A = this chain, B = another copy of it.
Amino acid sequence: MAENAVRADTSTRTVERALDLLGVVCDGGAVSLTDAAREAGLSASTALRLLRTMETSGFVRKDDDGYRAGMRIVQLGALALSHESLVPLAAEAMKRLVAETGESAYLNVPASGGPNAGHGIYIAVQEGTHSVRHTSWVGRSIELRGTAAGQVLRGETPAAGYVVVSNGVEPDVTAVAAPVLVGGQIVAALSVVAPSYRVSDDEAHRIGALLAAEASTILSDRPAA
């Protein structure tokens, strides 16, 4: 943590430290003061003061086992999720998918507008290198039935971690999708769609494995292996 050496003078050291510490606390279950201080590179008394500040404002909570993420971070995280923040988060993963498969990648979320919506929405697209489609998909609906992304959004992902649909709603098209999960809950579907003539069974499963791996990185700290 040699942040002092590289810190621009337009920043605020105290806040940086607090936010680092917040990351440490959110990274696992309970963490002790001593461990949190060590991981953040702070003295115990400094870490205690910062943790107490974040506890007062609800970002952190303390129980018998140590410090944990508090309700405030949950609220702000969920709030951020409801404001299109998933799109920039997924951008790198989608670019990698396009680079790896040559096909177009899509991000879908469930539609709002009541519990009978029955469809999803495209919120992001990365066109593949082979793509002959240049129409914009963002904002459009997707059926939950007969589509790979739809199955994912319906919670019907098999244990393999992805869904393959060949010649479903759209003839001559193979779609592969994997869920983006938060706390075990499905918040989005990441998918790759290609003409069936270009995708063998083996290729579909290779893409599926890629998708599952990329989807699992979108809301975590760790990059794809």
A residues lining the B interface (CB < 8 Å): 8, 10-12, 14-16, 18-20, 22-23, 26-30, 49-50, 52-54, 56-57, 59, 61, 68-89, 91, 109-112, 114-118, 120-125, 127, 133-141, 144, 153-156, 170, 173, 182-188, 193, 219-221
Among B59, B89, B116, contact of A19 (Cβ-Cβ < 8 Å): B59
Residue ID in chain B nearest A136 by CB atoms: B186
CB-CB under 8 A from A74, the residues of chain B are: 77, 80-81, 85-87, 89, 109, 123, 219
Tell me the dominant secondary structure on chain A's binding face: mixed
CB pairs A–B below 8 angstroms (19 shown): A12-B50, A19-B53, A19-B59, A22-B76, A68-B84, A69-B76, A71-B182, A73-B85, A74-B219, A78-B122, A79-B121, A81-B139, A115-B135, A115-B193, A118-B133, A124-B183, A136-B187, A138-B183, A138-B186
The answer to whether A79 and B138 touch (CB under 8 A), given A15-B54, A71-B88, A74-B86, is no
Cα A83 to Cα B80 with chains together (Å): 18
Contact B127 A155 (CB under 8 A): yes
CB-CB under 8 A from A173, the residues of chain B are: 115
Q: How far is the CB of A29 from chain B (nearest CB, A)?
A: 5
Contact A134 B154 (CB under 8 A): yes
Contact B79 A111 (CB under 8 A): yes
Contact A144 B134 (CB under 8 A): yes
CB-CB under 8 A from A153, the residues of chain B are: 134-136
Cα A57 to Cα B112 with chains together (Å): 12
